[in-house]
Chains A and B, each alone.
Chain A
Amino acid sequence: MNDCKGNILIVDDEKGLRLGTKRLLEEEGYIVAVAQNGSEGLQYGTTNDFDVAVIDLKMPDIDGMEVLQAIKQSHPNTVCFIATAFASYDTAIQATRIGAFGYIPKPFSPEELTYQIELGIKQRKLILDAQRLEQEREKNLLELANEKSRLNAIIKSINEGVIVINTNGALAYYNYSAIKLLGLSSLNIGENALSILPEQINEIVNKIFHSDKIMLKSFSTELSLNRQNEIFLEAACTPIPNPDGSLAGVVIILSNITEYKRIEIIKNQFVSMVAHELKTPIAAVQGFLNIIKDDSLNLSEEKKKDYLQRSSQRLKSLTDLVNDLLDISRLELKTKQKEIIDVNLCDIINSTLQMLELEIAKKELTIEKNEIEIIPLIKADFNEITRVVSNVLSNAIKYNKPNGKIFIDLNSSQNYVILKIKDTGIGMKDSERQKLFSEFYRAKNENTRGISGTGLGLSIVKRIVDSYYGIIEVDSEYGVGTTFTIKLPINPN
């Protein structure tokens, strides 16, 4: 089978000719529709966009000319032929005037018909191509008209500041963001931009103006502007070339990088704190080993053993610290999937108390528990919730006074399970309480000396609670005690 070469309509009241033509053209690869009289032809031709129509002139009901006229009116791109045995010059002229492409005199040979149809199909293609080109051209013209105002609107609405300077230093273009970022009250086209812009930007602009050849790359600088709050800007200056390659001006893009700077400072502080926390135990262990190695000190075996014991204690706390750091990184990156199961907070409290039995006994603490009979299960990761409970409970032990008390209250309200852990410990000052959840923050005073910890525990607890859309609150009175309240949603969704 050939691919379809086109859609053809044959309108003829003579059955034999109609069907013969149909068969012939179908063999040539056309799709052919036939109409047996004028009104049928008119209906088909006006409701479908045929490539080519061959219309018999003389039909009993409606004249071929009328059919042609109707088709050309509704589908001007359908290429129409008039076919008739009564060929005359006049009808040919009349038919072309109405819109016929050609005239096929009857009787016609198969070769003659297919030749004419092929011409018609070619014509149809030309018409459609021309129409498509015309539509594209119109669209392009419309786009061109819109382009300028659209580009303008885009540049005006972006957050980055845009400033264009001519080679003579005159301001050629700016947007509102540029005014805002530079903290100016206004800018005026044509004024000397170099007298307004910060020195650091001027330096780069001048460098571009005075360089021998134009390099099509940008030069960036970071600058800080002190207004009510210090803001940091990045200014990227790029030369604009003329079509002939000479320098037309410079475009300056200003971006607000204050937030990046703030994060960079936090990161640097964190890194140096981590470095300090990691190095402290290493330095202690290395110091002990240096002493043990040194024969001139004549260390007793007992002392050596004591130092080794203390070294291994320090290494254990170093391992705890590294594990805590890994936990923080895991919670931040959310790399580990939570294993969500039904968690019974009551069970976790009991097993944690069991685990901490020794520490509780050492300080001779009393535990008082108050829980409602049926505590709702929460959907959470068992290990994470255990981490929260054990951390807060071990703080309540570590920072408690000897013979002190710990009150544990487990309750539920609406969608939350509420756990309160109250101790009768050393408490916190307000300033200490505010920094409680920061990394490496540990209240340091005469009461906390000798209490060990990584300084990361509560920071981890807060991250876990936050990850369940829970709430952790702390209430404390210096010298009296501290209460932690943890609210966890029963169903986090």
Chain B
Amino acid sequence: MSLAELHLALLSAGPAHGYDLKGSYDAWFPDAKPLPFGQVYATLGRLVRDGLAEVVETRSEGGPERTVYAVTAAGRQRLREWLAEPAPPAVAGTEDLVRKAVVALRTRDPDRPASSFVDDQRAAHLRRIRALAAGDRSGAQDDLGSRLARRYAALHLDADLRWLDEAAAALETRSPHPDQEGPR
């Protein structure tokens, strides 16, 4: 994940401290894992070291001291270069799904047939899509970016479900012991 560039993008909206950046990140990418604070500060430290961001202010405002960061001209240039590169057309985030499906298909547990895995995974995916749609209806985080991020997640989950349907259909028609079949 391009955490450095994402931080530069968040800072390009205006100077901010780490706490704000984490909040913005979680709002921009509602279906991603929340960003740990430690990672925010470590990333900001590297950006400053590399001249891509700078410290512009230290505020205390009665509470703990907070450092305010801003993107530099070099940082903006890095962000432009990053955006100019197409993202690799790779499938992301589904490795666990594929691995579990393959394991479920290849290990024949009579107490837990592979179809149970497919059914349970389908239920989990549908619930997640439902939650994403509820996010659209709730009006919270209703900006275009958040909507598009939710839509991206829902469409990818739909693709997973179609693949699971194919897997389930293959399960029904497969030979009982495909691994022991000889070459044809």
A binds B: no
Q: Could you tell me which A residues sit within 8 Å of B by CB distance?
A: none
